[in-house]
């Protein structure tokens, strides 16, 4: 069984840093959900997470990584340690060397290119250090900002999966985008 390694050092492009998710990120995550009442909908959750749920996620993170289930990286701006969003890697199929990537950003830092940068850094890490051959992103068709950020990070639009997921009690269409090593 393969696993998602902890970062020996944070990933950085000089403007943005991705580091391992830690408990001290929880207050900023809760603030982001408060500042954007739709954030839980964009992340596919039925409701915003509580502080206790976020604490439990942080505690389970090392075991989930070791088991190859998921990895969560916190997004911070260079020169700061304040969590501004997260990138999550999950849905790993180690036999076929593929996984799914998801991202969210706090409302205050959206539309400044951080999503593109974070997806590019995370994509390089998953395809390189984690030895994946394919990375997928799924987005609802009306999430133009996410689709644009993924495209700017090198993800290729592959098509529309009709009625693919159940969200908020309904079947929803999703756009599928992918990144493979040749795209980097």
Q: What is the CATH number of the domain that holds 20?
A: 3.40.630.30
What is the pLDDT, as a whole number, of residue 100?
97
What is the pLDDT, as a whole number, of residue 1?
56
Please count the structural domains in the chain: 1
| CA pair distance 150, 140, nearest whole angstrom | 13
Alpha-carbon distances of 13 from 120, 127, 141, rounded to whole Å: 9, 17, 29
**70 in any annotated domain:** yes
**58 in any annotated domain:** yes
Which domain does 84 fall in, by range?
11-132
**34 in any annotated domain:** yes
What letter would DSSP give residue 2?
Answer: -
Task: Name residues of the chain where pLDDT drops below 70.
Answer: 1
**6 in any annotated domain:** no
Which residues 6+ apart lie within 8 Å of 107 measured at CB?
32, 35, 36, 39
**180 in any annotated domain:** no
**137 in any annotated domain:** no
**148 in any annotated domain:** no
**168 in any annotated domain:** no
| CA pair distance 103, 6, nearest whole angstrom | 18
């Amino acid at each position: 069984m393969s696993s998602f390694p902890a970062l020996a050092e944070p990933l950085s492009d000089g403007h943005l840093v991705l580091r391992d998710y830690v408990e001290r990120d929880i207050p900023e995550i809760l603030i982001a959900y408060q500042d954007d009442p739709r954030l839980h909908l964009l992340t596919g959750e039925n409701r915003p997470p509580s502080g206790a749920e976020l604490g439990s996620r942080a505690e389970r993170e090392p075991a989930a990584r070791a088991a190859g289930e998921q990895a969560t990286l916190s997004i911070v701006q260079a020169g700061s340690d304040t969590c501004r969003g997260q990138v999550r890697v999950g849905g790993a199929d180690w036999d076929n060397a593929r996984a799914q990537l998801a991202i969210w950003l706090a409302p205050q830092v959206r539309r400044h290119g951080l999503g593109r940068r974070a997806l590019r850094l995370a994509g390089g890490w998953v395809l390189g250090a984690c030895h994946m051959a394919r990375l997928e992103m799924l987005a609802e068709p009306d999430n133009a900002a996410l689709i644009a950020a993924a495209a700017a990070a090198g993800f290729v639009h592959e098509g529309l999966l009709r009625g693919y997921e159940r969200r908020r009690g309904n079947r929803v269409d999703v756009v599928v985008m992918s990144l493979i090593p040749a795209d980097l």
